[in-house]
Amino acid sequence: MRSARRHSRLARAKTKASGKSERDMALIDEAAAVRDNAYAPYSAFRVGAAVRAGSGAVFTGVNVENAAYPEGTCAEAGAIAAMVAAGETAIAEVAVIADCPDPVAPCGGCRQKIAEFAGPDVVVTMGTVAGARAQLTVRDMLPGAFAKSSMDKA
């Protein structure tokens, strides 16, 4: 319990220092906390992701590499799969973090996966373990997203 209180105070302190809302910081913190669990024996590039569902529940994921390289899974895809497995189908917010020079952006496939469950104004926070942050909306991150309506017959 003491550790949880300490973590909570630390998160609030970081929130005040950065000017970000406690809710925003909590999601990027969730992604950072799970990042160390990534399975990345080939690239050593560990990524953590967290999605907040419409209900407010948070789901996390990590990248999982495979010796057959294309068979790996991205962190964002893992978080989305966990959300859907729990019966949720709406993303309210996304955070992704890695140890890299600039805030890590979701790959093209993950941008499309996010767009499947998130509205165009949903914010995606991208970060580095060093503390750099960037934010984009789904609309800005994936203009012209392929959607269910794309399959409507004329």
Please tell me the predicted confidence (pLDDT) of residue 22.
54
CATH number at residue 52: 3.40.140.10
107 assigned binding-site residue:
yes
Catalytic residue list contains 71: no
Q: How confident is the model at residue 148 (pLDDT cuts 50, 70, 90)?
A: confident
Number of domains in the chain: 1
pTM for this prediction:
0.82
* Structural domain harbouring 147: 2-151
Q: How confident is the model at residue 23 (pLDDT cuts 50, 70, 90)?
A: low
66 assigned binding-site residue:
yes
- β-sheet with 47-53: strand ranges across: 58-62, 47-53, 91-98, 118-128, 133-137
84 assigned binding-site residue:
no
Give the model confidence (pLDDT) of 99-131 as tens digits: 999 999 999 999 999 999 999 999 999 999 999
30 assigned binding-site residue:
no
In the set 30, 71, 76, 116, the catalytic residue is 76
Give the model confidence (pLDDT) of 25-72 as tens digits: 589 999 999 999 999 999 999 999 999 999 999 999 999 999 998 899
Alpha helices in 1-154 (DSSP H): 2-18, 22-35, 75-85, 108-117, 138-141
